[in-house]
Chain A
């Protein structure tokens, strides 16, 4: 049974760096083809994909946010960490950790997501 759970601050001040941790179980990020990512959703708005990391440490980022994002993994802890720099109030959102469906796609840039964490609301305000 695959589960993912996000953790991190609920309130962040503008210009700070946001660090979110995803702790997962039911699979290993050292297994071939496995990918874990992040998606966010501002309150009442649509979903936005942010980043993906694969079993071999290959990383993909949203082109519009690439300069501000870093995704890393700790396979021994079953964790994936997302950092976002220079936070702004428009970054207020629910942040979801997601599992990429294995063997889903024709390229490593592509993904759809079969398991989601419960999400964590991050509010950016001074």
Chain B
């Protein structure tokens, strides 16, 4: 199994800040990585796929980078709607998710 580890678990920020969330894979997953946003009592929504490709309809304030074992999701200029929990997911093989990063005000 490929283990995914996110850091930090919780991130406090303010509207207008630029923030980054890190995701590490237990083995080389090349660029087979997706990022999701989940709001309370809602299903996750995909933001980024293939590590850095922006899903259609997603704000360009979201960007992804990295390859191999270390990846980053960056949100530029935080908006109130961005406060949520974020998950990374590898898809080199059977899907597995990180434990989540809660972005709070």
Q: Taking beta carbons and an 8 Å cutoff, which residues of A are in contact with B?
A: 39, 46-49, 60, 62-64, 96, 101, 104-107, 109-114, 116-119
Given A109-B94, A110-B95, 8 more A-B residue pairs with CB atoms under 8 Å apart are: A46-B97, A64-B1, A96-B43, A106-B92, A110-B32, A110-B91, A114-B46, A117-B43
Give the Cβ gap from A12 to chain B, nearest Cβ, in Å.
21
B54 in the interface, Cβ–Cβ < 8 Å? no
B83 in the interface, Cβ–Cβ < 8 Å? no
**Which residue of A46, A106, A114 contacts B100 across the interface (Cβ within 8 Å)?**
A46
Of all chain B residues, which has the CB nearest A118? B43
User: What CA separation (Å) do A117 and B44 show in the bound complex?
Assistant: 9
User: Chain B interface secondary structure, helix, strand, loop or mixed?
Assistant: loop
Of all chain A residues, which has the CB nearest B92? A110
B82 in the interface, Cβ–Cβ < 8 Å? no
A49 touches B94 (CB 8 A): yes
Give the Cβ gap from A7 to chain B, nearest Cβ, in Å.
15
- Interface size range of chain B in the complex: 20 to 34
Give the Cβ gap from A111 to chain B, nearest Cβ, in Å.
6
Instruction: Report chain B residues within 8 Å CB of A118.
Output: 43
B98 in the interface, Cβ–Cβ < 8 Å? yes
A62 touches B87 (CB 8 A): no
**Which residue of A48, A104, A109, A116 contacts B97 across the interface (Cβ within 8 Å)?**
A48
User: What CA separation (Å) do A49 and B2 show in the bound complex?
Assistant: 13
**Interface code B38-60, partner A: CB below 8 Å = 1, 0 otherwise?**
00000111100100000100000
B93 touches A46 (CB 8 A): no
User: What CA separation (Å) do A91 and B46 show in the bound complex?
Assistant: 25
Of all chain B residues, which has the CB nearest A50? B95
B22 in the interface, Cβ–Cβ < 8 Å? no
User: What CA separation (Å) do A46 and B6 show in the bound complex?
Assistant: 11
Instruction: Report chain B residues within 8 Å CB of A63.
Output: 1, 94
